[in-house]
Amino acid sequence: MTTRISLLLATTGVVALSACVTSTGPEDPNRTRQGALIGAVGGAIAGATVDNDDRLKNAAIGAVVGGGVGATVGAYLDQQERELRAQLGTGIVIENTGSELIVRLPQDILFAVDSAAVQPGLRGDLQLLANSLNKYSASSVEIQGHTDNTGDAGYNQGLSQRRAQSVTSELIAYGVAPSRLRPVGYGESRPIADNLTDAGRAQNRRVQVVIRPTG
């Protein structure tokens, strides 16, 4: 009976958090509560799947602990997001999902056509980004290269990898530990807009720096 009550309380807390998150709208920059919800659900599931006689108790404990960890991650990302928004130049998009921070750099301002060399005008922003990564060091970072679907798919794949590596090299030059960075090229396989329009293709040509807290 006690374990069922504990699980009910934890589940009620998760539902309440869910209501709070969905009511904020996508424009709300504060994702602390969303991080708490993600952590609580994950913790409850992890606790419930332990193979012993106390699954309900473990689920309740997992929800509470996971919720606390998730809230901490959300607050960590909120602070880093606020600072980056105040520092980085126009044209750079920042998205906070509650569990990771995505910094989207349009390739049209990063690179010349058909080039993997970072343009001098963007190096200042990359240095500011590197400074942020060094300040908020409890994270792993995936640097993703993406293209539109114009031209040969194999060539686009290689170009996206070279561009991801170029941004990675810039971050390393500004002091970010190489062990935290993973460059990967996705070519044209992950569009975020319609490749049938010029505007859509421009959005798809991008490098994304995906920051995932690790502690």
For residue 90, what pLDDT band results from cuts at 50, 70 and 90?
confident
The answer to whether 103 touches 94, Cβ cutoff 8 Å, is: yes
For residue 142, what pLDDT band results from cuts at 50, 70 and 90?
very high
The stretch 21-38 carries a mean pLDDT of: 45
For residue 56, what pLDDT band results from cuts at 50, 70 and 90?
low
Longest Cα separation, the chain: 66
The stretch 96-105 carries a mean pLDDT of: 96
- Determine the Cα–Cα distance for residues 13 and 153; give it in Å rounded to an integer: 47
User: What residues does each domain of the chain span?
Assistant: 32-76, 87-213
Tokens of 164: 């991801």
| CATH 3.40.50.720 is held by the domain 87-213 | no
Task: Give the model's pLDDT for residue 15.
Answer: 42
Task: Give the model's pLDDT for residue 185.
Answer: 98
> What percentage of the chain reaches a pLDDT higher than 70?
67
